[in-house]
Amino acid sequence: MNLSIVIPLLNEEESLQELHDWIVSVMQSNHFLYEIILIDDGSSDDSWDIIKHLIEKDQNTRGIRFRKNFGKSQALHAGFKIAVGEVVVTMDADLQDNPEEIPELYQLIMEEDFDMVSGWKKKRYDSLLTKNIPSKIFNWAARKTSKVKLHDFNCGLKAFKLEVVKNIVVSGEMHRYIPVLAKNAGFSKIGEKVVQHQARKYGKTKFGAERFINGLLDLITISFVAKFGKRPMHLFGALGVFMFIIGFGFALYLGIDKLFINPTGRLLSERPQFYVSLTAMIIGTQFFLAGFIGEIMVRSRVNELRYTISEELNL
């Protein structure tokens, strides 16, 4: 199998037949062995009926249906789990991504040995205020924090080596940062290809203004987890000890001053250093405890994927 095409969708009944026909024609004219994996993320329209109909007529199409809307990340994850093609391509179901790009993406992975190639919607057909400008900010922040040099992290159209999708866990709303997940899993050859983008033909976008806040919070999470997720004590413990030492220093100074140098001076509670010392020691202890609890949690997650194997011999 050359290609698995993974398509998450929510209420895209008008687009599915057209999308499917288009992909099949591209696959056939390039003589690919392929599968199309459609993941219905809890649609309430007729999307699933259309998928069933497509599967009846086409051997190469597979479908997964979620019980309710779990989100694009979960849908992608479910598709990645069953994909078997050497190259896995993701795309949106709304006809905004162009299937004609797939052969070139395939080549970049197979011949130029990229781990993943992300589409870049250089000329974008979405609303300026709610999409294009916020996404410029996202992409800038994601580039800065992750050091992955991409212009467009959240393009629906991407291609991966099979082992990449098998070794990353896309959950929550992390589909926006799949290139960062890949890099954190050790797949560092990440490329970019300018792709054609169309305006949404049917239906409307599923991601509103809240994606602005959620996306930036996720970015903080992902860069934090990548760095300290497996060793929270190194961050919180250090901060905690640092704060505590500052607080303790002030307390020591006040104590010596009161006992030996200036016993008849101002009351301790009238001196600003007293409050600095108190808060710093309390916050320091809190930080330290946060690190400690974090460590306990990390250690109790036994069955989680924590490494990526690059080769195996003689198993």
| CB closer to Mg ion out of 135 and 277 | 135
User: Residue 252: enclosing H or E segment and its boundaries?
Assistant: helix 232-256
Task: Please state the closest distance from residue 179 (CB atom) to Mg ion, in A.
Answer: 18
Q: Binding partner of residue 35 among ligand UDP, Mg ion, none, CB under 5 to 8 Å per kind? A: none
Dihedral angle at the C-alpha atoms of 46, 176, 174, 100, nearest 10 degrees? 50
Distance CA 49, CA 91 (A): 20
Closest CB to ligand UDP among 156 and 291? Answer: 156
Q: Minimal distance in Å, beta carbon 205 to ligand UDP?
A: 3
- Give me the least distance between CB of 121 and ligand UDP, in Å please: 9
Distance CA 273, CA 244 (A): 14
Q: What CA–CA distance (Å, rounded) separates 155 from 105?
A: 13
Q: Would you say 118 or 277 has its CB closer to ligand UDP?
A: 118
Distance of closest approach, residue 27 Cβ to ligand UDP, in angstroms: 19
The strands making up 116-120's β-sheet, listed across from edge to edge, are 61-65, 34-40, 3-9, 87-90, 158-161, 116-120, 190-194
C-beta of 198 vs 262, nearer to ligand UDP:
198
- Residue 142 partner contact from Mg ion, ligand UDP, none using kind-dependent CB cut-offs of 5 to 8 Å: none
Rounded to whole angstroms, the Cα distance separating 228 from 294 reads 10
Residue 195: CB minimum distance to Mg ion, A: 13
Spatial separation of the C-alpha atoms in residues 34 and 291, rounded to whole Å: 47
For residues 87 and 102, the answer to whether their CB atoms sit within 8 Å is no
Which residues bind to ligand UDP, rule: CB under 6 A? Answer: 8-10, 12, 41, 69, 71-72, 75, 92-94, 96, 156, 205-207
Instruction: Pick the closer one to Mg ion by CB: 94 or 115.
Output: 94
Smallest distance, Å, CB 185 to Mg ion?
A: 26
Joined tokens for residue 156: 């629906």
Q: Which does 69 bind (CB under 5 to 8 A by kind): ligand UDP, Mg ion, none?
A: ligand UDP
What letter would DSSP give residue 177? G
**Is the CB of 93 or the CB of 233 nearer to ligand UDP?**
93
Using CB under 5 A as the criterion, which residues of the chain lie in contact with Mg ion when the complex forms?
Answer: 92, 94, 96
